[in-house]
Amino acid sequence: MSSKTADPLEELSLDARRAWHGFLLVYEPLRPELYRYCRYLTRSPWDAEDLAQDALARAFSTLSRMGQAPPNPRAWLFRVASNLWIDRVRQERDLVTDERTLEPSAPVPAADLQATREAASTLVGRLAPQERAAVVLKDVFEFSLEEVAEALSTTVGAVKAALHRGREKLEEPELDATRRAVPEVVTAFCAAFNAQDIAGMTALLLDHAAIEVVSATIEAPADGKVLRALVFGVKRMARAAELGGMEAHFVAGVQPIPPRLELVFCRGEPLLVTWYTHSDGDAVRAVTRLEVSDGRISRLRNYFFTPDFIEDVCRELGLPFRSNGYRWWLPQR
């Protein structure tokens, strides 16, 4: 009689996924508010989604080390997001300061300079990070002074002072909608996707590129599973009621026809929106952002299980859209 020894690493991975799914089941009702809060802080759909995802990951990690669950999950989650954002702003501000003191012999790449300048003007130029967060929490989300103090790890007196300063000088700067140049590899990727050419899409990626379905999975180009799922996963979506994997009401009316990509511009940035065919017309169900290095794609981020982000972008662009929900998995019933 032989017995198969379980792989401890595989068991650890399964346990981590179960714990993560359980965490999301509890905190999922807070996701729309978390995104909206991050949106007010960053003033950018993609930065807001990234901050919300990072906040959830940090909260999950922190929760595992806490002696007891937070008594106010909403305020605690906002606190995690606030701390992440404030730290990020400070780092970006420090980068700008360092840039000004660089010697000519040590240039910073143009793309990095542009990113730090934009971050500085958008996040730091108008309000200190604590001031913006305090104003948003109090005036938009109607937190009490005590809840704002808890979320920002400070005192009620400091919150009052931040609110006074912030309300006096809070003005939203004009958005920079200057269209950025579209790298040739982006249009080539769009064409390969629409031709359902997986090999052609893969050839446009760096060997070490990261391919990510935000909040769901990440892989290397050699695996190819995500790219195939982006093109042909609609066939499974159309059978969700039978096969599971997604909540059926989100994919009602989806036709098993491969989706198509379209290049659009949002706030000057080129994005790829994914149109799906439905029994009552076409609608956007995903947004993809590409990062390019040396003429090839270094990172692909597909926003599919991110309903708040998709709605935000599509409303700004005036495009019809459908939600896929947050879950790429279904809890056991």
Co-location of 119 and 192 in the same domain: no
Q: How far apart are CA 17 and CA 221, in angstroms?
A: 23
Average pLDDT in the 7-31 region? 85
Edge-to-edge strand ranges of the sheet holding 217-219? 217-219, 205-213, 296-303, 281-293, 269-278, 260-266
User: Kind of pairing, strands 217-219 and 281-293?
Assistant: unpaired
Instruction: Indicate the average pLDDT of the chain.
Output: 83
Lowest mean pLDDT among 134-148, 204-218, 247-261: 134-148
Q: How far apart are CA 329 and CA 311, in angstroms?
A: 21
Q: Position 58: which residue type?
A: R
Structural domain contains residue 197: yes
Q: How far apart are CA 304 and CA 171, in angstroms?
A: 32
Q: How far apart are CA 268 and CA 44, in angstroms?
A: 12
What local confidence, expressed as pLDDT, does residue 108 receive?
41
What local confidence, expressed as pLDDT, does residue 142 receive?
83
> Coil, strand, or helix at residue 179?
coil
Co-location of 35 and 106 in the same domain: yes
Q: What pLDDT digit, counting tens, does each position of 78-136 carry?
A: 999 999 998 888 887 766 555 555 444 444 444 444 443 343 334 333 567 778 788 88
| Domain termination site, one of 169, 199, 219 | 169
What local confidence, expressed as pLDDT, does residue 174 receive?
54
Co-location of 152 and 249 in the same domain: no
The torsion angle over the Cα atoms of residues 105, 106, 108 and 109, rounded to 10 degrees, is 70
What local confidence, expressed as pLDDT, does residue 98 receive?
55
| CATH classification at residue 73 | 1.20.140.160
What local confidence, expressed as pLDDT, does residue 320 receive?
97
On the question of pLDDT at 30 being above 50, the answer is yes
Structural domain contains residue 175: no
Co-location of 198 and 239 in the same domain: yes
Structural domain contains residue 325: no
| Percent of the chain's residues with pLDDT above 90 | 44
> Which residues sit opposite 255 in a β-bridge?
none
What local confidence, expressed as pLDDT, does residue 4 receive?
57
What local confidence, expressed as pLDDT, does residue 117 receive?
37
| CATH classification at residue 269 | 3.10.450.50
Structural domain contains residue 216: yes
Indicate the pTM of the whole model.
Answer: 0.79
DSSP structure class, residue 127: S
Total number of domains constituting the chain: 2
| Domain termination site, one of 141, 169, 197 | 169
Q: 178 or 139: whose pLDDT is higher?
A: 139
Residue whose C-alpha is closest to residue 275's, from 293, 253, 292, 258: 258
Co-location of 245 and 278 in the same domain: yes
What local confidence, expressed as pLDDT, does residue 115 receive?
43
Co-location of 272 and 313 in the same domain: yes
Cα torsion 40, 41, 47, 52: sign: negative
Co-location of 40 and 85 in the same domain: yes
Q: How far apart are CA 297 and CA 292, in angstroms?
A: 4
What local confidence, expressed as pLDDT, does residue 131 receive?
81
Q: How far apart are CA 287 and CA 252, in angstroms?
A: 20
Co-location of 225 and 85 in the same domain: no
> Which residues sit opposite 262 in a β-bridge?
273
Q: 179 or 51: whose pLDDT is higher?
A: 51
| Domain termination site, one of 169, 192, 224 | 169
Q: What pLDDT digit, counting tens, does each position of 258-317 carry?
A: 999 999 999 889 999 999 999 999 999 999 999 999 999 999 999 999 999 999 999 999
Structural domain contains residue 2: no
What local confidence, expressed as pLDDT, does residue 253 receive?
93
Co-location of 107 and 232 in the same domain: no
Q: How many CB atoms lie within 10 A of CB 308?
A: 22
What local confidence, expressed as pLDDT, does residue 138 receive?
82
Cα torsion 333, 71, 47, 173: sign: positive
Report residue 331: phi and psi, to 5°. -65, 150
Structural domain contains residue 276: yes
The secondary structure element, H or E, covering residue 54 is helix 45-63
**Domain boundaries, position 236:** 184-317
Co-location of 165 and 225 in the same domain: no
Co-location of 71 and 200 in the same domain: no
Q: What pLDDT digit, counting tens, does each position of 36-69 carry?
A: 999 988 888 999 999 999 999 999 999 888 878 8
In the block, which residue shows the tokens 């952002």? 289
Co-location of 17 and 125 in the same domain: yes
Q: How far apart are CA 50 and CA 147, in angstroms?
A: 24
What local confidence, expressed as pLDDT, does residue 318 receive?
96
